Amino acid sequence: MMRAVKSKHTRLEDIVVNELHKRGLRFRRNVKDLKGKPDIAIKKYKIVIFIDSCFWHGCKKHCRMPKSK
């Protein structure tokens, strides 16, 4: 079941990435060699971004729980 939950290139990540791209920022996605494996890293400014969706936080408004395990 958990394999059905996307961990890379989610819709929320795509929104952030599109905005960063519009602003001309260079970045890397899903960086495995940095501590914590951030979703986005902007090396020039030493910034990392972790994007956790409502699923992982159990948000009652947006989270859709799977019907099976």
pLDDT at position 62 over 80: no
Question: For residues 49 and 25, what is the distance between their CA atoms, to the nearest angstrom?
Answer: 13
Those residues whose C-beta lies under 8 Å from the C-beta of residue 50, and which sit 6 or more positions away, are 36, 38, 39
pLDDT tens, 14-51?
999 999 999 999 999 998 899 888 999 999 999 999 98
pLDDT at residue 64 in the model: 64
Question: What residues form DSSP beta bridges with 29?
Answer: 40
pLDDT at residue 3, as a whole number:
54
Instruction: Tell me what the mean pLDDT of segment 43-68 comes to.
Output: 74
CATH class name, domain 2-57: alpha beta
- Domain spans in the chain, listed from the N-terminal domain onward: 2-57
Q: Which tokens belong to 57? A: 């936080």
Q: What is the pLDDT of residue 54?
A: 62
pTM of the model: 0.67
Q: Are 36 and 44 in contact (CB under 8 A)?
A: no
